Chain A
Amino acid sequence: MYETRRPDPRPALPGFESRKRVWDAQHDRYAVKISPGGYYVTNNDEMLVTVLGSCVAACIRDTKIGVGGMNHFMLPVGKDRRDDVASDGNRYGNYAMENLINSLLKQGATRGNLEVKIFGGARILNSGTDIGGSNLEFVRRYLTDEKLSIVAEDTAGTNPRKVLYFPASGRARVRRVRSVRAHVEATEKRYLDDIQNKPVAGEIELFS
């Protein structure tokens, strides 16, 4: 019988050491799952996996130095007292994008070499507003402001997606997964409740 040999995982980048990596025999590499609100950056030939409903995932890599990553987020909606550029939604989305991009830049990536793919933003959650559409609108505006162009996308629609992203090559595979719709809806609802109830604010420390 033919067997693939499972190599030891190569070291993860600083800050991502505790992330669980699972050997995927079919794709012959380690896989990392990105949950709602999470992000991961690697310089190894790994596979990043996520399932998206109305959430969006940005897959970004530096095409020259072999480092890339993925985030997975949605914007808090309906809690804002303000409707301006510094709204909770904008600040949270900005934070999610900046976490990913800053992690890439810290590994030596440069903005001019970044290749961006976006996924998700389906109309899934059973609510009056098109949350997926708002998430997509935010990501597009953010990327335009940051002068980063989108080289590929699979977005909107009404079905959840499973995304496999290979940062070493930039290849992405997307599959519609209707069967997990209820599960995705419940997971995203929990995530949305969580971010809506947490203040969008980091710590402040004055040194003197």
Chain B
Amino acid sequence: MATILGVDDSASMREMVSFTLKSAGFEVVEAVDGVDALGKVAGRPPVDLVLADVNMPNMDGIELVRELRALEGYKFIPILLLTTEAAPEKKEEGKAAGATGWIVKPFNPEQLVGTIKKVLG
């Protein structure tokens, strides 16, 4: 069973995302921001996919992508950014940082799960 790291500073968004992923059979590890996410990945085998918000305090999603890509186990792990941010320049920044994809909220549960399955192959 694939494990997904879900990162969002909003408690209600974490709840909706975790519920959707767990209902589809995934295991979920939650983190509240980029710094928390880096703490969660340290000292454990790499997760199979990261699904992170962009606008977060302490460390945002794009910075998190850069930090994760610098880690040995995370060079090729899919990282999807899930955001209210629709600005094209922000999306380009995410792409340049090494994100795998960009999902604009409000997410559709079936499409989100479908995209994750596609990315996981």
- A, B in one complex: yes
Q: Determine if A204 is an interface residue (Cβ-Cβ < 8 Å).
A: yes
Closest residue on chain B to residue A205 by CB atoms: B102
Q: Determine if B120 is an interface residue (Cβ-Cβ < 8 Å).
A: no
**CA–CA, A98 and B23, complex, Å:** 23
Interface string of B1-24 (1 = CB under 8 A from A): 000000001111101100110010
Q: Determine if A16 is an interface residue (Cβ-Cβ < 8 Å).
A: no
Closest residue on chain A to residue B91 by CB atoms: A205
Q: Determine if B109 is an interface residue (Cβ-Cβ < 8 Å).
A: yes
Question: How far in angstroms is the closest Cβ of chain B from A129?
Answer: 22
Question: How far in angstroms is the closest Cβ of chain A from B67?
Answer: 18
Contact: A201 with B111, CB < 8 Å? yes
Question: How far in angstroms is the closest Cβ of chain A from B110?
Answer: 9
Which size class do A's interface residues fall under?
20 to 34
Report 23 cross-chain contacts, Cβ distance below 8 Å, ordered by A residue. A85-B16, A85-B19, A86-B19, A94-B10, A95-B105, A95-B106, A102-B85, A106-B55, A110-B57, A145-B15, A147-B11, A200-B108, A201-B106, A202-B103, A202-B107, A202-B108, A203-B86, A204-B103, A204-B104, A204-B115, A206-B100, A207-B99, A207-B100
Contact: A207 with B101, CB < 8 Å? yes
Question: How far in angstroms is the closest Cβ of chain A from B27?
Answer: 17
Which size class do B's interface residues fall under?
20 to 34
Q: Determine if B71 is an interface residue (Cβ-Cβ < 8 Å).
A: no
Contact: B108 with A145, CB < 8 Å? no
Contact partner of A91 (CB less than 8 A), chosen from B9, B86, B101, B107, is: B107
User: B109: which A residues are within 8 A, CB to CB?
Assistant: 82, 86
**CA–CA, A142 and B15, complex, Å:** 11
Q: Determine if B66 is an interface residue (Cβ-Cβ < 8 Å).
A: no
Contact: A91 with B84, CB < 8 Å? no
Closest residue on chain B to residue A204 by CB atoms: B103
**CA–CA, A200 and B99, complex, Å:** 24
